[in-house]
Amino acid sequence: MTRAIIGIDCAVDPRRTGLALALENPGGLRVEHVVAGLDADALCVRLWHWMAEYPVDVLALDAPLGWPAALGAELATHHAGDPIDMAPNELFRRATDREIKRTLGKQPLDVGADRIARTAVAALRLLQFLRDKCGAAIPVVLDSKRGAGPVAIEVYPAGTLKACGLRASGYKQGSQRQERVEIITGLAPYMDTGGFDDLLCVDDNALDAVICALAGFDFWSGKAVPPTNRELARKEGWIWVRRPA
């Protein structure tokens, strides 16, 4: 059966959320659908229809799906005015964030201390909508070897780009079209963008959604690095990124 992967470039504003659906084929991965700029209702309906029409294996979301364990433990007993002795980077960053920085030199936003936390909440709500609507568990998993049914994973487009040896920053502004063209060209050895290059050149959210789908395929194919501390990753979440070239 053909495997289907949905990449979701998450955002608080639904109109800045990008969606991409890609199918595995003999040549690797081919993008079948890409959309961006939908309102909240249209976004949910589109995802629901994709889930119903295709045998979706992986939902790859560009958003934190958990918070730092140390932050929760520290705040559980904290009272206003009490000192906090823990270093901010230990408090606000997850183990997976530190690992991405160590291996790829890219620092994900601190979900414990940044507006990205609002994106995380929006992503978790969207994931729960799909669970309710599709009647599927859609668990967040820590292993690509699993049974039937769609699963959810956390991905990081900048990390995937860096691991592929491609530009990983400086492409999100409206004036940076040539930089997006550079990325799209560089993705050719890894996936078939399915004739959506014009849209990907115009909309960085659509481009990031396609990169999310690639990261989902890396996870499925066993190319992404798994967590070393599974229990901590179960609490905090884990960013799935391919091993650097």
Q: 223 with 16: CB under 8 angstroms? A: no
Is there a domain that residue 16 lies in?
A: yes
Please report whether residue 243 resides in a domain: no
Q: What is the pLDDT of residue 172?
A: 96
Structural domain harbouring 147: 4-73+83-236
The pLDDT of residue 27 is: 78
Domain count, the chain: 1
pLDDT of residue 149: 79
135 assigned to some structural domain:
yes
78: in domain: no
178 within some domain: yes
Helix ranges (H only) for 105-203 are 116-134, 157-163, 177-186, 197-202
Task: Read off the pTM.
Answer: 0.96
Is the residue at 218 inside a domain?
yes
Query: Which CATH number covers residue 122?
Result: 3.30.420.10
In a domain, 245, yes or no: no
pLDDT tens digits along 164-211:
999 999 999 999 999 999 999 999 999 999 999 999 999 999 999 999
229, part of any domain: yes
The four Cα atoms 94, 99, 104, 110 give a dihedral, to 10 degrees, of 10
Q: What is the Cα–Cα distance from 82 to 85, expressed in whole angstroms? A: 10
pLDDT under 50 in the chain at which residues?
none
Would you tell me the crossing angle of helices 116-134 and 40-53 to the nearest 10 degrees?
50
